[in-house]
Chains A and B, each alone.
Chain A
Amino acid sequence: MPTSVPVSWYLILSAILFGLGVAGFIYRRNIITVFMSIELMLNAVNLTFITFSYTLKQVDGHIFSFFVMVVAAAEAAVGLAIILTVFKNRETLMIDDVSSMKY
């Protein structure tokens, strides 16, 4: 067991989490779960921001991830309101059933 891990491992962890988020986004059919997959991807990106911030010894990455959080909060507020509205009108949370927005 090494006493410390290289920075790149954090990035790989982030990539894994991002990949899992993508997989969730594509495989899952429940809108809420899909939404949570997006949050997982955002979190993965935040991890890279923090990691690079550490590598470059600059605090800017923290601020970016702070902004990501704020945007995620706004997104969650609006997104969940949309989900509520969709559920109210269609009685479903399955994403494949909500497909009338097409050509």
Chain B
Amino acid sequence: MTALIFFLFASIAVFCGISLVTQTHPIASALSLIGVMGSLAILYLQLGGEFIAAAQVIVYAGAIMVLFVFVIMLLNAGAEGTSLQMSNFAKYVGIFLLAAFLGLISFVIQAMLPKTEGVVFGAFQGGTALNIGRKLFTIYLLPFEVTSVLILIAILGAMVLARREI
């Protein structure tokens, strides 16, 4: 069952990832990315990250990507044009190199973690909102506050950029 879910959503994620790169229209890319995020959220759930899965959907899919879609719609960005201005040679060599590199990394990962037992749903129960909140507001309080300041700066920056005629 765990394996089935993993394969299902991993393949969805990979498929959507490829689609993100290859689709010519930004909004198609955006929807592919949402697909990746959604399937990753399921995988997070499987790994015991229930809070982070919800946060993934709320923050990434529900806020950030809505912003992307909004901007794409606002700019009415059209398709990129068929030619990627990439010679066939570069395209195929690039794909080959990417595949080779991914293979290498997979090999290294397998070599580094040779005998890990399988993932079992429910084996890790620490990802509840309670646990994350505990850590976040004790050990990680300072980073938390710093990120809140960062968000504030980002809001101000976005306002300044959007408002003033630059």
Contact = CB atoms under 8 A, between A and B. Distances in A.
A16 to B, nearest CB: 6
A51 B48 CA distance: 9
Given A32-B72, A60-B135, A43 B126 contact: no
Interface in B30-58: 30, 33, 36-37, 40, 43-44, 47-49, 51-52, 55-56
B84 to A, nearest CB: 6
Q: Label chain B's interface by main secondary structure.
A: helix
Interface in B55-73: 55-56, 59-60, 63-65, 67-68, 71-72
Contacts of A37: 20-21
Interface string B70-103: 0110110100100011100000001000100110
Given A36-B29, A51-B47, A53-B47, A77 B84 contact: no
Contact of B154 (A11, A33, A77, A85): A77
Interface string A60-103: 10110111011111111110111111010100011010000000
B26 A33 contact: yes
Interface residues of B, number: 81
Contact of A20 (B17, B132, B151): B17
Contact of A15 (B56, B84, B86, B105): B105
Q: Label chain A's interface by main secondary structure.
A: helix
B71 A12 contact: no
B135 A59 contact: yes
B71 A80 contact: yes
B136 A6 contact: no
B13 A24 contact: no
Contacts of B30: 32, 36
Contacts of B49: 50, 53-54, 62, 65
A60 to B, nearest CB: 7
Contact of A73 (B59, B106, B136): B59
A69 to B, nearest CB: 5
A60 B98 CA distance: 31
A2 B118 contact: yes
Interface of A: 1-13, 15-17, 19-24, 26-30, 32-33, 35-37, 39-40, 43, 46-47, 50-51, 53-55, 57-60, 62-63, 65-67, 69-78, 80-85, 87, 89, 93-94, 96
